[in-house]
Amino acid sequence: MQLLKKIKEKANKLKTELVVLHLAYQHPETPWIPKALIVLIIGYALSPIDLIPDFIPIIGLLDDLILLPLGIYWTVKLIPKNIITESTIKAVTYNWDNDKNLKAGFIIVMVWCVILCFTISKFI
């Protein structure tokens, strides 16, 4: 049970960090390089397709347990501390806009469809 509790705590922390990145992205003083990384990280976190498929034992979970937190860590290092502090405070009470979630999800699915079509066309 302790392991399950730790996993849930890590998952909640990861969700909070993604909200902080989302809020930092919206901040007008965030530089463009971290903004580009935020788009990639959040897109990857919400994407139904993983770099390493989850059905591969142990290795399949590494992208979620290692790559995603590393990407978040490096991106946070590129964002000014005042923006991260402000975003962290806002993240505690932040409510997602469902209309924007649907639009973002649609864009992510469309990007994967384009990549899939491009890949299939190269092999056919």
> pLDDT digits over 40-92, tens only?
888 888 776 666 666 666 676 666 778 888 999 999 999 999 999 999 999 88
pLDDT on residue 85: 94
pTM > 0.75: yes or no: no
pLDDT on residue 122: 83
pLDDT band, very low/low/confident/very high, at 121 (cuts 50, 70, 90): confident
Token representation of residue 19 = 């909200």
pLDDT on residue 14: 83
pLDDT on residue 58: 67
Alpha-carbon Rg for the chain, nearest whole angstrom, is 16
Handedness of CA 105, 75, 53, 9 (dihedral sign): negative
pLDDT on residue 101: 66
The whole-chain average pLDDT of the chain stands at: 83
Residues 86 and 26 sit within 8 Å (Cβ to Cβ):
no
* pLDDT of 95 above 80: no
pLDDT on residue 9: 81
Distance CA 67, CA 51 (A): 10
Distance CA 8, CA 75 (A): 23
Number of residues that this document lists for the chain = 124
pLDDT on residue 1: 67
